[in-house]
Amino acid sequence: MEDAAGIDRPRKRPAINIRQMEIDDIAQVFHLGEELFTASEWPNLYRTWDEYEVISLFQSDPELCLVAEGEEGLLGFALGTTIEKSHSAWKYGYLVWLGVRPSQQRSGVAARLFKTLKDLLMETGARILLVDTEADNLPALKFFRKQGFGNPQEHIFLTLNLDQARRKNGERKAPGRPPERFRLDDAEPDPD
């Protein structure tokens, strides 16, 4: 970062506090994610980022939902979960989302969020930590390698435009709401 004299100086590390996300943080986390995970920049992330994703992770694993805050307010977030497979002694930690305000990127916020989440996952007994990102998200790949991740596996996302398939079959566009499975007046009476 250049100062007023045009001298390149290292970016000052902000004073940050990492804490468990609270219910009042949900909207801010969601809106920051909307800024970061855009359709033009990261189409696969954009497709899965919504308010239900944030709420679901907060409800299921609140201790693994973290925020970083500083003088500017919310600086970033990390949302994680654990995965336990039946018939396996292994418990996996999964960093589902990691986002940092653009003005705070490369200032240590993501590293602090990650380290705190990793420590929490270790306390839960997780033996392996998983993360995924877009194959061409080079800053994220560099960050995760720096955090000790290795053994990258390529994963390909495919899409099928169902509206195009409907048109091909001569059907009209899908309605805005899914059809009701049954009506309340058709439901079986409660035996109790």
User: What is the chain's pLDDT, residue by residue, as a tens digit (192 residues)?
Assistant: 555 555 655 556 658 999 999 999 999 999 999 999 887 776 666 577 889 999 999 999 999 999 999 998 999 999 999 999 888 889 999 999 999 999 999 999 999 999 999 999 999 999 999 998 888 888 999 999 999 998 888 777 777 888 887 788 777 665 555 555 444 454 555 555
Q: Please give the Cα distance from 186 to 24 (Å, whole number).
A: 40
Q: Please give the Cα distance from 51 to 61 (Å, whole number).
A: 15
pTM of the model: 0.75
Alpha helices in 37-161 (DSSP H): 43-48, 51-60, 109-123, 138-146
For residues 80 and 64, the answer to whether their CB atoms sit within 8 Å is: yes
Structural domains of the chain in order of their starting residue, each with its CATH number: 17-177 (3.40.630.30)
